Structure 1
Amino acid sequence: MGFRTERHGVSWEDVFGYVQAVQRGDTIYISGQLSHDGDRLVAPAPVADDGSVTDFGNMGEQLRRSYANAAELLGRFGASLDHVVEEVIYALDCDALFAVAGPVRKEAYGRPDPQVASTMLATPRLAFPEQLVEVKFTARV
């Protein structure tokens, strides 16, 4: 049974101690993907002095970038989002996520009826204060 890992090369991989993706046999497990380009967060949410998010308007852009980062990782295994069988979306605000998720997901998967099991969960906090959403994936090749 084969075993392979991939990383993005971002600082928090070493700080937290993990890889972005693991392939074991015909299954690829993708760690929660967030909206980043290298160590730079893409479309960070505005945050008040107390650390609370003041506007959820960047939810769609963050979600779009999270799918793009997952697609990039999957490509390294010769796979794509077409191979995803399950996703779990963690969001600070489910209403804000639900308002943008349909079109963003359909665009990412390239079809009006993505063939993927999907779970959406609300969480009080993600890794970075400016982060609104994170998506983990399981793919079969």
Structure 2
Amino acid sequence: MTNPSATIDKQAAYLGVPWEDAYGYAQAIKVGNTIRVSGQLSHDDQGKLIAPAALDAHGRPADFSTMEAQMRATYANAAKVLAQYGASLDNVVEETLYVLDVDAAFAVASKVRGEAYDVARPMVASNLIGVSRLAFPEQIIEITFTALLPET
């Protein structure tokens, strides 16, 4: 039996953070002119979480006051991944925000998204989804992206 994925020309992008090997994934995959960006979060170049949420006695976020800082850093990391393909947030056509607190995300999303996309109303299909947990206990937001490059 032929492996159908063997015929697809995939290009992977990485940021060099520890969980790429630990979990075994790429930050993004480009096929043709489409870039699918894996869930991005607010980490620095070494993989240390930026603006981690304080945890309660049960190891869950105690408050969501760092949502804006985490969201801003998450968009910055997505921009780094897209740049590996010669793309930017201007190429994004869809995003999905996974958040632990929808109200906290909604309160800052317009401001942060406006800054990230450099326009008050980004031309991006956007989904905001509340979830019960993300990969790291101190993480309160994760965003996936789909971007398109011009046809060649």
* Band of TM-score, shorter chain: over 0.9
Larger radius of gyration: 2
Query: How much identity, in percent, do the aligned residues show?
Result: 52
**Paired residues, number:** 141
**Structure 1 or 2: larger strand share?**
1
- Alignment partner for residue 128 of structure 1, among 117, 127, 136? 136
Partner secondary structure for residue 90 of structure 1: strand
Matched, 1:65 2:73: yes
Out of 2-11 and 104-113, give the one that drifted further: 2-11
1:84 aligned partner: 92
2:13 aligned partner: 6
Per-residue CA deviation, residues 74-128 of structure 1 (Å, 9 max, x unaligned), is 1110000000000000000000000001100010000011000000000000000
1:107 aligned partner: 115
Structure 1 letter corresponding to 2:127: T
TM-score (norm 1): 0.98
Shift of 1:49: 2.2
Gaps of 5+ in 1: none
1:17 aligned partner: 24
1:116 aligned partner: 124
TM-score (norm 2): 0.91
Structure 2 letter corresponding to 1:106: G
Partner secondary structure for residue 100 of structure 1: helix
Q: Distance in 2 between matches of 1:97 and 1:42?
A: 16
Gaps of 5+ in 2: 1-7
